[in-house]
Amino acid sequence: MIRRTIFAVAVCFACAPLYATTYTLESQHTQGVVRWSHLGFSNPTAQFTMVDGTLDFDQADPTKSSVMATIQLAHFSSGVPDLDDNLRSVDFFDTAKFPTATFKSTMVEKGSAPDKLKVTGNLTVRGVTRPVVLDVTINKVGVNIRSNLPSIGFEATTTLKRSDFGLGMFVPQVSDEISVHITCQADEAKAYAKQLKAEAEEAAEDAKTAATKAAAAEAATQK
């Protein structure tokens, strides 16, 4: 019996996946802040919040990890309506023609500490693709106590030249270099999809119940 148990455990370990865990970027807790210099007097910011994508993370060997992300530029906002209109215009992002920006990693390297990584990838903005290096700090890998989902969180920073992507209007009065700070939470893909499905079904059931009650109330008033 003991020998059988040992054999079963050995088989389980042998069949365990030896590859990265796939996570889905969680848009409600993923955002980026972009900062630039305006005439040297101030350092305004804008924020992107609608980010979709996947992260394949190998905790045993993070250099085998990869990430793909898509940013919805229509939701890129400075909080200043006139500036936001300008950013979406043909002078800058031209969101009617190029509604998204994308990032796809090509290499992951270990950083200066166990929680540090350097992620190289291709950033595409306005149809122009350039290599970018992200300095990444892994915040936490574990189970989210609120959702009970396996999750990962990290910060990423980089500095870009907007002129590299055809966005160089007003340089040098407005700085060519911009800093980017991204914070991200991602949830294990299958568990997250299952949770979203359950939430959608619950919302549909609530809507059905509300509609039934409304119909009953209307029928009662017509008696």
| Strands 31-35 and 177-188, bridge-based pairing | antiparallel
- The more confident residue out of 71 and 221 is 71
pLDDT of residue 14: 34
pLDDT of residue 113: 94
The angle at the Cα of 170, spanning 166 to 173, to the nearest 5 degrees, equals 135
Q: Considering the entire predicted model, what is its pTM?
A: 0.84
Contact at 8 Å (CB) between 49 and 27?
yes
Q: How far is Cα 94 from Cα 11, in angstroms, rounded to an integer?
A: 55
pLDDT tens digits for range 49-100: 999 999 999 999 999 999 999 999 999 999 999 999 999 999 999 999 999 9
- The more confident residue out of 17 and 24 is 24
Q: How far is Cα 205 from Cα 208, in angstroms, rounded to an integer?
A: 5
Dihedral of CA 195/197/201/207: which sign?
A: positive
Per-domain residue ranges of the chain: 19-214
Strands (E) across the chain are located at: 21-25, 31-35, 45-48, 51-57, 66-72, 100-110, 116-125, 128-143, 150-161, 177-188
CATH 2.40.128.110 matches 19-214: yes
The separation between the first and the last C-alpha atoms of the chain, rounded to the nearest angstrom, is: 73
Tokens (6 digits) for 14 = 């042998």
pLDDT of residue 218: 80
Rounded to the nearest integer, the mean pLDDT of the chain is: 90
C-alpha count within 13 angstroms, C-beta hemisphere, residue 38: 8
pLDDT tens digits for range 153-187: 999 999 999 999 999 999 999 999 999 999 999 99
